[in-house]
Amino acid sequence: MILGVLFYYKYLNLIITTYNDILHRDFFLWEIIAPLGISFIIFQCISYLMDLYQGKAQTSRNFLDFALYISFFPKLSQGPIVKYKDMETQLKYRTITFDKFLRGLERFIMGLSKKVLIADILGQTSSSIFYSMGMGMDAGTAWIALISYSFSLYMDFSGYSDMAIGMAAMMGFEFKENFNFPYLSTSITEFWRRWHMSLGAWFREYLYFPLGGSRKGNVYLNLFVVFLATGIWHGAAWVYLFWGAMHGVCVVVERYIMKKSWYEKIPVFLRWAATFFIVNIGWITFNVTKFDEFTEFLGYLFGMGTPISFTGLFYLTPRLVTLWAVVILGTLIFSRKKVQVQLIKWNEESQVFNGIKYVFLLGCLFLCFVTSVSEGYQPFLYFQF
């Protein structure tokens, strides 16, 4: 029944449209307004029922507690997807301290800064190029659009997760991390351990393991089904199903070749480059509505559009290059364990560091307000899912 609700709100019109296209019929499309965050709400309801069935959680006897779990606004529209068993105790017993509130506020400001100061500006460049796709473009322009979108999506979605985790902390809740520097991955399998981690954990526990995981049945088929479901979850369009299938094929192939002795001999840089390339090719589907548009843009990336030109330099502004550098250098620096440990130590022991940190955060907050006023509001990219 719960999946039926999701089907009605998200996939009914896709089925009707496909039926009309194949059989040349003209059935009317329903004007359906889906509730905010319907995909996340349904998945959390399923996790609650599955946890009860498996004996991992107790039935909620308090309607307000259960309603809060489902509709807690920081995670409502874009996650993280929080399992009931992870939030059950916190609904009844949690403490709100000044330190927690301050830590949550810091996280919120950093997430807001990633969204407003980086993601939105990068998104303007990628959107303007993708919108002009029908007029043709050279390979350089196409790659600028794709890399900008890739960084924009990462900063946008991880920024929202930071804001959600921060707001939850301000109210005494602790949520698990949702991102762990995914663009450093050296395989698609590793990428999904680092990207939208709560979604990956949900599918692993509530679909992959029930299918048999790696112990029962065909592990390759189980993996492929999981990624097909991941694609379908992302959107009511066949391009998302293709995106999920593409990742599923990659994970299946990786699982097979990782057993080979020669796999570890492949240089790490080449494995990283191949992973980053595949992930970016997949992001094309998030910017098109039809498969022929996907193949069209893919052709642009390999020089099958307009002749070689320097039109891409128009988009390669100093601001764009600076933001690319911020994302790349920030990832390389802050992903290092030594840096993370040192920052924690300074945060706990150094008043000078904390003073500099608060000045920096206040500066970022001020710039967010200024940028929002001058550039206008840009919705979060993952709102569409």
What end-to-end distance do the CA atoms of the chain give, in Å?
20
Q: Out of 24, 196, 234, 247, pick the active-site residue.
A: 234
The answer to whether 264 and 186 have CB atoms below 8 angstroms apart is no
CA 18, CA 127: separation in Å to the nearest integer? 27
Structure tokens at 308: 């070689």
The answer to whether 253 and 278 have CB atoms below 8 angstroms apart is no
CA 249, CA 2: separation in Å to the nearest integer? 29
Taking the mean position of all CA atoms in its chain, how far away is CA 165?
15
CA 275, CA 211: separation in Å to the nearest integer? 27
Give the count of alpha carbons within 13 A of 148, CB side only. Answer: 27
Structure tokens at 27: 């059935």
The answer to whether 120 and 323 have CB atoms below 8 angstroms apart is no
CA 213, CA 359: separation in Å to the nearest integer? 49
DSSP state of 182: G
Active site residue 234: yes
Q: What angle do CA 349, 107, 201 make, to 5 degrees?
A: 115
Taking the mean position of all CA atoms in its chain, how far away is CA 245?
17
The answer to whether 114 and 108 have CB atoms below 8 angstroms apart is no
The answer to whether 163 and 173 have CB atoms below 8 angstroms apart is no
Helix (H, G, I), strand (E, B) or coil at 216: coil
Only one residue has tokens 């992973």, namely: 275
- Residue 140: its H or E element: helix 139-170
Choose among 284, 313, 314: nearest CA to 300.
284
Instruction: Supply the residues annotated as catalytic.
Output: 234
